[in-house]
């Protein structure tokens, strides 16, 4: 009875008084006893926030006390992904990021085969290009469905199930009897292949605390920007030597091999799913013992959902409506979506533009050779990633000066300069794309473009996550939606734009447009704090360093 009075009359303490940012109890080993109970508010009701062993001990000690108990992680809990060995965390981080590279390989690699597919089915180049655009459209739609599914069922089932779709639909593509089959299957493939877009960022967040996640985010960001241009480096020679059918067979071998490795080695990392399993394990143990009142067992739940009952309907309702609200009401999300959309639009537009500059009529490269020029973008991405520790050092310095609290604006430190690399590199590329100028000159320009997009994209995405914290998934879903819708549309008019304006003026137009976006990182760096204060969603987390189980 004393414990019940304690639970209902003591001042509700915050989780941080007993649990650190990742939800682990702050009690020292040996002091994790039910004598040290904590209250946690759930609506008008108070419950006890305990680790698994504490919950079992208290239930056995008070078999008729139905005070709600919420299971959380213990200090050195090996079930907590953030306590896993570093080698394991790095393996999962790199594997999930590599999935990003491969799904982009399947997306952009199609461009190497589009001309052969157009000839094989006697369709126009624009119709053949739909195979690329439909895949990117699947990229846009997939996260809207797969993101809530990953929250409900966990990361691992979504990775495995959606990636299987990507694998299996390589078969009808390789055996396609008409262009309609290719267009439909590519859309379905894009949906399945979008899982890394919605999952990998969450996986990184599951494994690493925010102030330790800099290098992991560097790898994730590199995979997102390295993947699309790297696709053409490999696919060009495959199509040239084996034909377009073999492109899809080889994609099936690569993606199928990864699927097998995924099934065998990729564990669940989402905290809420793991805590649910722990709470279920506690309830099952107590029910089996039969010494505790059923009411006590029923009032044991996980610390993430607490006593709330969730449903797929409510989960989808939130995830499908909130991103749209963010897109139309939140300036940070609006500008992040516009900037990311423009950048990715150019990246996929280059899939169609590079053959015009370096292929027949330009530098007269073969399919394999003009695919190799995309190495410029890849090299630029890698070099920019190598400079990311400087950005991370600056961010951590600002955090330390702010008493350990997050400083989202510090994420834009390098992006202020990276934003100007994009128009500079595009102007450079535009006016060195004449066949009379050595091919290496525009390739070097593309390397600076690759560096610029890496710096900007990683900075913008980090800024969105830090600004919205709890709501970052919804904000990012809106950003990804617009990004990939634009990415799907740009390749469709690349040929006409470069044909009518010429290679030089078409790229110059893109350079002028990119100048319009360059002030965004500067604006956020110097005035982002005021911008966040005006947002009801971002203001909720202002001055906090929220990094709890999710």
Beta bridge pairs of residue 70: 49, 301
| Residue 187 Cα distances to 143, 177, 184, 442, angstroms | 14, 17, 5, 33
DSSP line for 110-146: GGGTHHHHHHHHT--HHHHHHHHHHHHHHHHHHHHHH
C-alpha–C-alpha distance, residues 59 and 38, integer Å: 15
Question: What pLDDT shows up at residue 33?
Answer: 41
Q: How far apart are CA 200 and CA 204, in angstroms?
A: 6
Q: The whole model's pTM is what?
A: 0.84
Distances (CA, A) of 349 to 156, 341, 353, 476, 510: 33, 12, 6, 23, 10
- pLDDT at residue 307 in the model: 65
User: Both tokens of residue 118?
Assistant: 């157009």
Helix ranges (DSSP H) in 471-545? 472-517, 519-533, 536-539
Closest Cα partner for 487 from 113, 228, 218, 233? 228
pLDDT for 548 equals 59
Q: What is the Cα–Cα distance from 78 to 209, expressed in whole angstroms?
A: 15
Residue with tokens 């002028």: 512
Q: Which of 469, 548, 464, 483 is nearest to 225 (CA)?
A: 483
d(Cα 547, Cα 429) in Å, to the nearest integer?
Answer: 42
Q: Which residues contact 166 (CB under 8 A, 6 or more apart)?
A: 103, 106, 189, 192, 193, 255
What was the pLDDT predicted at 380? 94
Residue 256 pLDDT: 97
Are 224 and 100 within 8 A, CB to CB? Answer: yes
d(CA 360, CA 352): 13
Instruction: Please report, in tens digits, the pLDDT of each residue of the chain (550 residues total).
Output: 333 333 333 333 333 334 443 333 333 334 444 434 444 444 445 788 889 899 899 989 888 888 889 999 988 899 999 999 999 999 999 999 999 999 988 998 898 899 899 999 999 988 999 999 999 999 888 888 888 888 788 899 999 999 999 999 999 999 999 999 999 999 999 999 998 887 888 888 889 887 788 888 889 888 888 888 888 888 888 888 888 999 999 999 999 999 999 999 999 998 889 999 999 999 999 988 888 888 888 888 888 777 666 677 777 777 678 888 888 889 999 999 999 999 999 988 887 788 888 988 888 888 888 888 989 999 999 999 999 999 999 999 999 998 888 899 999 999 999 999 999 999 999 999 999 999 999 999 999 999 999 999 999 988 988 888 777 777 888 888 898 899 888 888 888 898 899 989 999 999 999 999 999 999 999 999 999 998 888 887 676 655 555 5
Both tokens of 89, joined, read 């965390």
HEC secondary structure over 304-336: CCCCCCCCHHHHHHHHHHHHHHHHHHCHHHHHH
């Amino acid at each position: 009875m004393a414990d019940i009075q304690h639970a209902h009359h003591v001042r509700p303490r915050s989780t941080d008084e007993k649990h650190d940012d990742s939800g682990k109890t702050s009690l020292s080993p040996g002091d994790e006893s039910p004598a040290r109970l904590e209250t946690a508010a759930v609506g008008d009701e108070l419950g006890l926030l305990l680790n698994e062993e504490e919950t079992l001990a208290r239930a056995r000690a008070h078999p008729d006390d139905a005070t709600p108990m919420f299971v959380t992680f213990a200090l050195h809990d090996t079930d907590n992904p953030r306590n896993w060995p570093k080698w394991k965390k790095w393996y999962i981080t790199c594997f999930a990021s590599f999935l990003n590279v491969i799904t982009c390989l399947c997306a952009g690699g199609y461009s190497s085969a589009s001309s052969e597919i157009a000839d094989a089915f006697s369709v126009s180049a624009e119709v053949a290009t739909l195979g690329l655009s439909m895949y990117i459209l699947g990229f846009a739609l997939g996260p809207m469905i797969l993101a809530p599914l990953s929250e409900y069922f966990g990361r691992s089932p979504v990775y495995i199930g959606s990636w299987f779709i990507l694998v299996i639909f390589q078969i009808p593509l390789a055996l396609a009897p008409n262009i309609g089959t290719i267009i439909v299957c590519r859309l379905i493939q894009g949906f399945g292949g979008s899982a890394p877009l919605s999952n990998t960022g969450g996986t990184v967040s599951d494994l690493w605390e925010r102030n330790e996640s800099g290098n992991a985010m560097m790898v994730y960001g590199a995979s997102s920007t390295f993947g699309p241009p790297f696709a053409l480096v490999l696919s060009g020679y495959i199509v040239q030597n084996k034909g377009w059918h073999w492109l899809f067979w080889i994609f099936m071998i690569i993606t199928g091999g990864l699927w097998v490795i995924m099934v065998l080695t990729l564990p669940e990392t989402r905290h809420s799913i793991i805590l649910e399993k722990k709470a279920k394990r506690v309830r099952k143990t107590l029910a089996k013992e039969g010494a505790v009142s059923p009411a006590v067992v029923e009032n044991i739940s996980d610390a993430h959902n607490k006593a709330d009952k969730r449903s797929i309907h409510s989960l989808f309702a939130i995830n499908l409506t909130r991103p749209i609200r963010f897109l139309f009401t939140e300036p940070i999300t609006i500008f992040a979506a516009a900037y990311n959309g423009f950048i990715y639009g150019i990246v996929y537009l280059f899939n169609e533009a590079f053959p015009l500059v370096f292929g027949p009529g330009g530098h007269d490269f073969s399919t394999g050779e003009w695919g190799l020029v995309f190495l410029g973008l890849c090299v630029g991405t890698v070099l920019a990633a190598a400079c990311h520790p400087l950005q991370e050092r600056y961010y951590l310095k600002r955090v330390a000066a702010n008493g350990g609290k997050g400083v989202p604006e510090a994420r834009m430190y390098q992006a202020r300069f990276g934003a100007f690399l994009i128009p500079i590199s595009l102007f450079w590329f535009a006016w060195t794309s004449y066949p009379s100028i050595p091919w290496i000159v525009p390739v070097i320009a593309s390397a600076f473009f690759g560096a610029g997009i890496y710096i900007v994209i990683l900075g913008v995405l980090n800024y969105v996550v830090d600004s919205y914290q709890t709501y970052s998934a919804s904000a990012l879903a809106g950003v990804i939606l617009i990004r990939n819708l634009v990415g799907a549309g740009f390749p469709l008019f690349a040929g006409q734009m470069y044909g009518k304006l010429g290679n030089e003026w078409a790229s110059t137009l893109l350079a002028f447009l990119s100048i319009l976006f360059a002030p965004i990182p500067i604006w956020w760096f110097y005035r982002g704090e005021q911008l966040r204060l005006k947002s009801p969603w971002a203001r909720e987390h202002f001055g906090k360093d929220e990094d709890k189980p999710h």
